[in-house]
Chain A
Amino acid sequence: MIDDIDRTLIVATQGGLPLVPRPYHAVAEQLGLSAEEVMRRLKAMLETGIIRRIGAVPNHYAIGWTANGMTVWDVADELVDELGERIGALAFVTHCYRRPRALPAWPYNLFAMVHGASRDECSAKAGEIRALLGDACRASDILYSTKILKKSGLRIAS
């Protein structure tokens, strides 16, 4: 859980760190905190997982991963967790989740995002997932994205 100071720190840094030699000092000054406190709190949030990581967030399209397919699979319930672990471990899978089905419209319970330079590449990668799932997979689909409509990331209100 976070307190009010953590919250102000999140609001101050969610859009990015200042590009100055002492960024944590700059944030501290802006918030009226000491730099030590800012660094201590950020380290604590990193340890507890509130911060997943600190670094560059690339635009996948701009770095050459122009095709992205959300592959979705209807996998037998008793096998989905074990198989999900193995699919998440594939190098080209960037997200992998078990999610509820929404029957009858949506029979899929395993979602794996694959990236490639082309749709053919994504489709070949989906084939690797298909092979790994074997008979446990009853149906599947790939939903290619054709447009980013919004990408602001998490924004909590100040």
Chain B
Amino acid sequence: MRELSTVDRKILAKLQGDFPICERPYAEAAGQLGISEDELLQRLQQLLDDKVLTRFGPMFQIEEMGGAFVLAALAAPEERYDEVTALVNALPQVAHNYRREHALNMWFVLATETRDGIAEAIARIERDTGLPVYAFPKEREFFVEMKLEARL
């Protein structure tokens, strides 16, 4: 894990949202951080290269576009874990996938452009892996402030 400079921390603290939509947005954001546009661009590139950031840009909310976002899980037998991971990850509809400690040991998020896409993706995973998939669609989302500051 790499050390973060004070400026990098400031970028992480201030730039997880509210990036402006204007002609020179990096210049505007840089001004608020007290650095130059050039420095901000270089630091963002470095943070992306070092994988401190996974992305810099808009985060889309697929439900608002008529699509669906569903958490699902399955219990992969230990001796088949890598094979099942490869089968699940092969679907572009799988946005994230985490190994977790539980009998249900693989938890993934399906993101599809249409609501029907979820059932299709689940059917496909069940067919490919031969394992039952549990779907946990959200029934209600409680408001959270989703911004974690760097603590290194």
Contact = CB atoms under 8 A, between A and B. Distances in A.
Interface string A17-28: 101111111000
Contact of A85 (B64, B71, B142): B142
Given A19-B41, A99-B137, A58 B65 contact: no
Contact of B95 (A43, A89, A155): A155
B53 A57 contact: yes
Interface in B36-70: 37, 41, 44-45, 47-48, 50-62, 64-67, 69
Contact of B102 (A23, A117, A141, A153): A141
Nearest to B64: A50
Interface centre among A55, A88, A93, A145 (most CB of B within 10 A): A55
A51 B85 contact: no
Contacts of A24: 21-23, 25
Tell me what chain A mostly uses at the interface: helix, strand, loop, or mixed.
mixed
Contacts of B113: 156-157
Nearest to B141: A97
Chain B, interface residues (CB within 8 Å), range: 35 or more
B136 A102 contact: yes
Interface of A: 1-2, 10, 13-17, 19-25, 35, 39, 42-43, 45-46, 48-65, 70, 81, 84-85, 87-89, 91, 93-100, 102, 105-106, 111, 115, 117, 141, 143-157
28 contacts: A10-B65, A19-B56, A21-B37, A22-B24, A50-B61, A50-B65, A51-B61, A53-B19, A54-B19, A54-B21, A54-B57, A56-B15, A57-B53, A57-B54, A57-B57, A58-B54, A59-B53, A63-B150, A89-B144, A91-B145, A94-B146, A95-B146, A98-B139, A100-B137, A106-B134, A151-B97, A154-B62, A156-B113
Interface of B: 1-2, 4, 11-12, 15-19, 21-27, 37, 41, 44-45, 47-48, 50-62, 64-67, 69, 71, 85, 88-89, 92, 94-104, 106-108, 111, 113, 134, 136-146, 148-152
